[in-house]
Structure 1
Amino acid sequence: MSYKLLAVFFLCVSKGSALFNDNCVVPPLICPNKNITFWLYTRANENNPHELKVSDTDSIASAPWVKNSPIKVLIHGYTGHKDFSPNTEIRPAYMECCNYNIITVDYNKIALEPCYLQATRNIELVGMCLAQLIDEMVQNHNFQLKQFHVIGFSLGGQTAGYLSNYLKSGKLDRISALDPALPMFATSDKMKKLDFNDAHYVDVLHTNALAKGKLETSGHADFYSNGGVVQPGCKSTKNQTKSGCDHARAPIYYAESILTTTGFYATRCYSWITYIIGLCNLFPSSEEVLYGEYISRNTTGIFFFSTNSEPPYARGSMIKTGRS
């Protein structure tokens, strides 16, 4: 039995046969779509987001844009919404550090529990409608494609891959994928998953590989925090599973990277297997790179870094301090 069939079986059993749940919908690939909304946040309207509508171009023209400033696009994952991770971690960090334009994508209505299988199909529609919005902004409202930086968590990371398939204005400048989702994305078809071709620069963080997140390298630079599978300090609670905690660390680490003066410094290793069997420690790299918001575009390859078990998570330079 293939991995995908096993995943379908597992999800159906664990989620009460969501394949046949009347509340689970897969809308047709038509944009704009009432199930997908876009919200602009700036320092001027941080608590009163402005809705952007392709069907109402005045909503774009009259929005409180910070002119010539970067545009950060945040995409949530399964069961998320505009006031859920990664928005709750990353949006406040940007508001504190910089006067940026933040566009939050909300597709909650087509990513509800227990409808994971449908949600994995629906993110193609989300990517398509987001591409329509960006094309409208670039082609008719004098925005530059280089202004856009897309940051997606879990299913949101995979959504960014679909976005690139439909974008007509050119190639995205940067995608940052935060523990991109694994279930139903174990495929060799690059059109159905995130990969390094989806933007001029794609950086990926892995925090719960082999469970909720992918182990496979998916970008120009892939970072595995604490080995990329489990995170220190995570445990099961009444509100969250251990795996859910590991997965949720991805947007938390990224948000901290925006403001930290300590920094998440990572070292290169040939592969994840090489790291796991300890060869990277036997032959440590003298190269150290910074992960997160301020990553250098020259950074390519596979990297590993350690974190603290509680905030602040960044540990700074391992080479300078002699820590491992």
Structure 2
Amino acid sequence: MFDHICVSPPLICPNENVSFWLYTRANENNPHELKVSDTDSIASAPWVKNSPIKILIHGYTGHRDFSPNTEIRPAYMECCDYNIISVDYNKIALEPCYIQAARNTELVGMCLAQLIDEMVQNHGFELGQFHVIGFSLGGQTAGYVSNYLKSGTLNRISGLDPALPLFATMDKLKKLDSSDAHYVDVLHTNALAKGKLESSGHADFYSNGGVVQPGCTSTENQTKSGCDHARAPIYYAESILTTTGFYAKKCYSWMTYIIGWCDLYYRSDEVLYGEYVSENTTGIFFFSTNSEPPYARGPNTLN
């Protein structure tokens, strides 16, 4: 009965189901659509020259004014004079069509790679300017970009609780992993439910153990699992602006953390999670948060 909305278009880009919208401080409330089929739309866009380009990718049921855009885009607007590109593939990520939406992440990644290639090859942008940030299905979408990018390797991908359902696979080409960019950092907030437990990047951060988040309960509009999952973009957005910081400790594995052995064997210095993570940071890390905003608790030595 859902055949009329549950669709998986062919892998052809540009695609009418995938659009890209540029936001800067100059046009924060009037986004500019970027089209590979209309190169003037790229040339005439109100770019902040030589500034970083942050690309935000939503997840299931989302759109350009849905998480992670609603949390992260305003934070960037407040902190920095950046170029923000919001990807919108709402038409092929509609409820109740999760199976098709998961399958369509490859198409979205393919079309985003085409846009980046066009910008780099024909409009003078540097590949090092791009930082792709994907939430849930958007995190897995970010992994597909590298499969189709012709200009080189992305500098950084940040996965925010990358989706688990239909991505429990050994095939690296079908999920986000550390080969997809020079640096891949991943946050886990709802592992074993909506998000993945397995490490997926150069650095994987598990907030409050990565499964459930303090302060999350079921509400009329959201399940507890949905709340746990949604904390990922909230924490990342806070990391852009906070002066307190999310400080994490290294551990060998998630199981080592669960049985309480991390402090016995790993007493290394804490590292900062989020926007300003050092790209020399590698391994598995754990940090705690408050149950309500502000969530960041600062260095553990102060708690």
TM range (shorter): over 0.9
Identity of aligned residues (%): 85
Q: 1:264-311 deviations in whole A, cap 9, x for unaligned?
A: 000000000000011113445232000000000110000000000000
- 2:169 matches 1:187: yes
Q: 1:115 is matched by which residue type in structure 2?
A: C
- 2:233 matches 1:216: no
Q: Select the residue among 174, 182, 185 that pairs with 1:203.
A: 185
Separation (CA, whole Å) in 2 of partners of 1:41 and 1:101? 6
Separation (CA, whole Å) in 2 of partners of 1:114 and 1:60? 34
Partner of 1:139: 121
Q: 1:95-134 deviations in whole A, cap 9, x for unaligned?
A: 0000000000000000000000000110100000000000
Partner of 2:82: 100
Partner of 1:313: 295
Q: 1:154 is matched by which residue type in structure 2?
A: S
- 5+ long unaligned stretches in structure 1: 1-17
Partner of 1:150: 132
Separation (CA, whole Å) in 2 of partners of 1:21 and 1:267? 47
* Correspondence 1:1-80 to 2 at 5 A: 21-80=3-62
Separation (CA, whole Å) in 2 of partners of 1:283 and 1:164? 36
Separation (CA, whole Å) in 1 of partners of 2:266 and 2:203? 18
Separation (CA, whole Å) in 1 of partners of 2:3 and 2:299? 50
Q: 2:186 is matched by which residue type in structure 1?
A: V
Separation (CA, whole Å) in 1 of partners of 2:197 and 2:117? 32
Instruction: Give the secondary structure class of the aligned counterpart of 2:187.
Output: strand
Separation (CA, whole Å) in 1 of partners of 2:267 and 2:45? 48
* Correspondence 1:275-314 to 2 at 5 A: 275-314=257-296
Partner of 1:111: 93
Instruction: Give the secondary structure class of the aligned counterpart of 1:172.
Output: coil
Separation (CA, whole Å) in 1 of partners of 2:136 and 2:104? 14
- Structure 2 length-normalised TM: 0.99
Moved over 4 A (4+): none
- 5+ long unaligned stretches in structure 2: none
Separation (CA, whole Å) in 2 of partners of 1:248 and 1:136? 32
Instruction: Give the secondary structure class of the aligned counterpart of 1:246.
Output: helix
Partner of 1:240: 222
- 2:274 matches 1:274: no
Q: 2:293 is matched by which residue type in structure 1?
A: P
Q: 1:37 is matched by which residue type in structure 2?
A: S
Separation (CA, whole Å) in 1 of partners of 2:5 and 2:94? 9
Separation (CA, whole Å) in 1 of partners of 2:292 and 2:286? 18
Separation (CA, whole Å) in 2 of partners of 1:40 and 1:279? 46
Q: 2:290 is matched by which residue type in structure 1?
A: N
- 2:106 matches 1:124: yes
Separation (CA, whole Å) in 2 of partners of 1:38 and 1:29? 17
Partner of 1:9: none
- Structure 1 length-normalised TM: 0.92
Separation (CA, whole Å) in 1 of partners of 2:151 and 2:184? 18
Q: 1:202 is matched by which residue type in structure 2?
A: V
Instruction: Give the secondary structure class of the aligned counterpart of 1:93.
Output: helix
Q: 1:177 is matched by which residue type in structure 2?
A: G
Deviation (angstroms), 1:247: 0.1
Partner of 1:228: 210
Partner of 1:6: none
Q: Select the residue among 140, 145, 149 that pairs with 1:167.
A: 149
Deviation (angstroms), 1:187: 0.3
Task: Please provide the CA RMSD for this pair.
Answer: 0.9
Partner of 1:12: none
Separation (CA, whole Å) in 2 of partners of 1:284 and 1:57? 52
Instruction: Give the secondary structure class of the aligned counterpart of 1:38.
Output: strand
Separation (CA, whole Å) in 1 of partners of 2:31 and 2:255? 45
